[in-house]
Amino acid sequence: MTSASTDTSVVVIGAGQAGLSVSYYLKRLGLDPGNDFVVLDRGPGTGGAWQLRWEALRIGSAHRINDLPGMDALGLSFETADRHAPAKTVVADYYRQYENYYDFQVIRPADVTSVENHGTDLKVLFTFDDEQKDVTTETVVNATGTWGAPFIPWYPGLKSFEGKHIHTNEYRSAEDFRGQSVVVVGGGTSAIGFLLELENIASDLTWVSRRPIDFLEDGPLNLEARIEAVQKQDEAARAGRTLPSIVSGTGVPRTRRIQAGIERGVLTPRPIFSSIEPHGVRWADGAFKQADAIIWCTGFRPEIRHLAPLRLREREGGVVVGQGSSWKDPRVFFAGYGPQASTIGANRAGRLIARQVIATLSKLQALR
């Protein structure tokens, strides 16, 4: 299906859950990996963002990881995966087997720097083996996720802090904070996980959150809240607004582990501070907390800087995306964006986007 005027018909940027899901359906629909579509991935190995997560994270304590489409053909499932091994190791191993089984021929580490117009086609520029390379294509599927674009909100005095600023994506081990006074910022499961890991390691822990924590009494099956949160993500994506926080709409399941932490007093959040000083944080009422480190569990933004040459962003800060495709440029698709950000959402979107890609390729080739 590759056009004679381009190197390939589709470039998939990212080989995490969303990129692999799209790749699976592209292959099922008749496209040949490595020829009709090319997958570029920045990571040093398989596993998407999971390979970069902290060592103590286990599959049972993380958000549910749904199986990739067609994973059952390998006899693999995250439902029966090792709960004692680091999640990063398990996911990387399963994704490696998956990529090999379906022969996706992922190119890595390939760091995409920009996507530009190339006449009526697109040119994807990336670095590989310290060299600048490019590939021309008719369509692009952006599946870069958010891990590479951490968000830290601004507070007065932010840059004056003399301790360590650490974001979720930089956290490696609780041992890095042994004997230190730590402030953890954020109301999601990452913040809670870090607090429980640091409980007997840090000398002192303070949890702060911008909004009250909604601990769910009905556990992980609060489908109404999840549906509403996904709808808000979809509405924001269609309007081109900055995407809202998922956890603000879904809450946090009150598991036995979390309930025990609440009863021990570890999971008792304070309101967010009003300013940061060289040696700690201060609240509006004058209260001060000394800190050696601030861990920011404040979420991420979609990683789409490489798409800047295409001018897809709206004044509201986001990209208008509906049913997985850009409304400004029908050659560009978004997998794992907005309502697709969960593993189940990414898998469902993979089928939809692959079908739309095929339809778009047919239209483009009919015009040539």
Does 80 reside within a domain? yes
Please give the structure tokens belonging to residue 170.
């930089």
What pTM, to 2 d.p., does this model score? 0.80
- In the predicted structure, residue 238 carries a pLDDT above the cut 70: no
What 3-state DSSP class applies to 60? helix
φ, ψ of residue 111 to 5 degrees: the values are: -95, 105
Mean pLDDT to the nearest integer, 304-327: 85
Q: Is 342 found in the same domain as 267?
A: no
- Per residue in 174-198, pLDDT (tens digit) is 999 999 999 999 998 889 999 999 9
Full residue range of the structural domain in which residue 169 is found: 158-213+251-296
| Helices 189-198 and 256-264: angle between axes, nearest 10 degrees | 60
Same domain, 290 and 311: no
Q: Is the pLDDT of residue 340 over 80?
A: no
322 found inside a domain: yes
Residues 270 and 306 in one domain: no
Lowest mean pLDDT among 67-71, 313-317, 319-323: 313-317
12 lies in the same domain as 142: yes
Let me know whether 310 and 287 are in one domain: no
47 and 109 together in one domain: yes
44 and 102 assigned to the same domain: yes
